Structure 1
């Protein structure tokens, strides 16, 4: 019998993370596309920051990145936020406050690698203008906060800005009905929602909306009056939730095909494949809006689909081998920990070698057609 509290949600929280370290397969070295997409969204982020209420009281200005992972992308974004806010204070003639940044992710996240990317703290004996302008130092106090963002993480009314990018599409769990052979939502033969039946799609959608509602309830208590949230998660342009856009091509075609290869080659059973599903959901604008409006705690300042580009960054787009390797490494950096936990590292290696082979064969098509879309939401307390 499983120990008390060790249900499907806590099991996922214990193992889910982007690949840690700084090696070839790490998230730190396979998140260049996220960095590029985040940079292209900076005008939208700064628009959100311009709406944050400034306080003349001597209280720290607190920024949180939820789903920070273990690369340098989160540090870049925090730096952008704090520099922007410091300039806003200065423009109004206020002396900028002290800044604090919390980096939050699940306890399984590689916080050690993340903190190795942090620049040293600036000497606060100097002026804030000097510390903000010095790119080799940081002008904020930093801390890590382990825990699921689907629950409370911070004291009431303590946070000025919440930022979360490329994380909210991760569900708290695979919907239980999706793995139940007796359920209409049983996702037989598949490891992802893309191309699944309507019942499976609805189970994923319901899980996403349940999780997002929990996220909003927690943030509504933690956000200061006048604060704002900037949220980015994988989205889709289709009304049909089984059509997961570019995400479907990655997880529902290439990873799916690799699982099928292992079954056909007798390396794993079909039952082993069918007992695994990737807990990710690309939302539509309507899916997202319904939850925010039903919760009622937040006003939507902006909600749109953002065309983010390719998830694959390569030096030689015409080199099929490089494209295949890049796609396999990108998928492994995000899903490899879950796959290795399900079938072991050896078979995980076999699976991702099949992903690489398949994507190399279709490299030209991949580079021409794969396209990621994101939900971008700027919301503040109602």
Structure 2
């Protein structure tokens, strides 16, 4: 599913690089290295596909502008938490890659690199991650106590508001940090999210996390993820004032639900959430937890179909101003 999401926006990223990347300005600065960061890269191979696509598009842009003989060298910064398996990531690097590879461990909610060191920032299926679960969700005396759930999708308004507030804090910090690290004119591509006006409980992502919550049924665990709408992201960006919104739209990256998509959803969730869940409950429950996604195929497909809408992935392109 992560690959499908990235593939769905490949042509859009190519278009943005063609239309918005100011190669002449980069060339005139005598800078001979084009630096790209993948924030939340995980262990591959999807990050390698995305980085190859971006470098290919930049090379074509240089060639189309008459700078083929002055093609820059490329450097890619692969970022994720320090607990990420960077050994696996770098052991599987494509041998014919057109870039130099660097690991940057750490949370993207803080600074990662020096000022004005990046030309292009990419983040796919990581932006929804929060720095922490809102504390009030675990307080039995709070109106936001999320009893019996692991997510906010079908929870009371107080729970959803706690997640919304935490997301705003985290992404304000994220944007402030990227504004320092990106060069003026640098581009940033971000996803995912949900459409405007759709209740969290009606979104595809909300349904998937609700289904996971039914498999857990606990009071002491919440997934630190939040999916923002275009309206929410626009408000945060307007407050930041360091980026122009070059493109923002909802895309539909997935096929209709069937048996294969059920397995894909289980793998998608496990890839992103296994570390968080096993840290809280222990690794021994993981297989048992994700098994219902395949065993309850009809129920899961019915849930997916009921929440399938015109789009469920938010694609954003920003330019540093």
**TM-score in terms of structure 2 length:** 0.90
| Structure 2: segments with no counterpart, 5+ residues | none
Q: Which residue of 1 aligns with 2:171?
A: 212
In structure 2, the CA distance between the partners of 1:311 and 1:69, relative to structure 1 (3 Å rule), is farther
Q: Which residue of 1 aligns with 2:119?
A: 160
In structure 2, the CA distance between the partners of 1:323 and 1:140, relative to structure 1 (3 Å rule), is closer
Q: Which residue of 2 aligns with 1:357?
A: 295
3-state SS of paired residue (1:112): helix
3-state SS of paired residue (1:291): helix
**What do residues 179-227 of structure 1 show as CA deviations (whole Å, max 9, x unaligned)?**
1111111111211111101111111011111111111000000101111
In structure 2, the CA distance between the partners of 1:364 and 1:105, relative to structure 1 (3 Å rule), is closer
**What do residues 39-78 of structure 1 show as CA deviations (whole Å, max 9, x unaligned)?**
1211221222221222221421111111111121111111
CA distance in 2, matches of 1:293, 1:83: 31
CA distance in 1, matches of 2:278, 2:161: 27
Q: Which residue of 1 aligns with 2:243?
A: 298
2:21 is the alignment partner of 1:52: yes
2:292 is the alignment partner of 1:380: no
Q: Which residue of 2 aligns with 1:245?
A: 203
3-state SS of paired residue (1:235): coil
Q: Are the equivalent residues in 2 in contact too, given 1:34–1:311 (CA < 8 A)?
A: no
Q: Which residue of 2 aligns with 1:128?
A: none
Q: Which residue of 2 aligns with 1:124?
A: none
Question: Which region of structure 1 is more displaced relative to structure 2, 326-335 or 44-53?
Answer: 326-335
3-state SS of paired residue (1:151): coil
Q: Which residue of 2 aligns with 1:86?
A: 59
Q: Which residue of 1 aligns with 2:129?
A: 170
| Structure 1: segments with no counterpart, 5+ residues | 1-32, 121-136, 261-272
Question: Which region of structure 1 is more displaced relative to structure 2, 46-55 or 203-212?
Answer: 46-55
Q: Are the equivalent residues in 2 in contact too, given 1:175–1:204 (CA < 8 A)?
A: yes
* Residue among 51, 69, 92 paired with 1:117: 92
In structure 2, the CA distance between the partners of 1:363 and 1:213, relative to structure 1 (3 Å rule), is closer
Deviation at 1:99, TM superposition (A): 1.0
Deviation at 1:379, TM superposition (A): 0.8
In structure 2, the CA distance between the partners of 1:281 and 1:310, relative to structure 1 (3 Å rule), is farther
CA distance in 1, matches of 2:201, 2:292: 23
Q: Are the equivalent residues in 2 in contact too, given 1:63–1:160 (CA < 8 A)?
A: yes
CA distance in 1, matches of 2:128, 2:115: 25
In structure 2, the CA distance between the partners of 1:225 and 1:323, relative to structure 1 (3 Å rule), is closer
Q: Which residue of 2 aligns with 1:21?
A: none
2:230 is the alignment partner of 1:257: no
Q: Which residue of 2 aligns with 1:127?
A: none
CA distance in 1, matches of 2:265, 2:184: 42
Deviation at 1:305, TM superposition (A): 1.7
Q: Are the equivalent residues in 1 in contact too, given 2:154–2:201 (CA < 8 A)?
A: yes
**What do residues 86-118 of structure 1 show as CA deviations (whole Å, max 9, x unaligned)?**
121122222201111111111111112222321
Q: Which residue of 2 aligns with 1:282?
A: 227
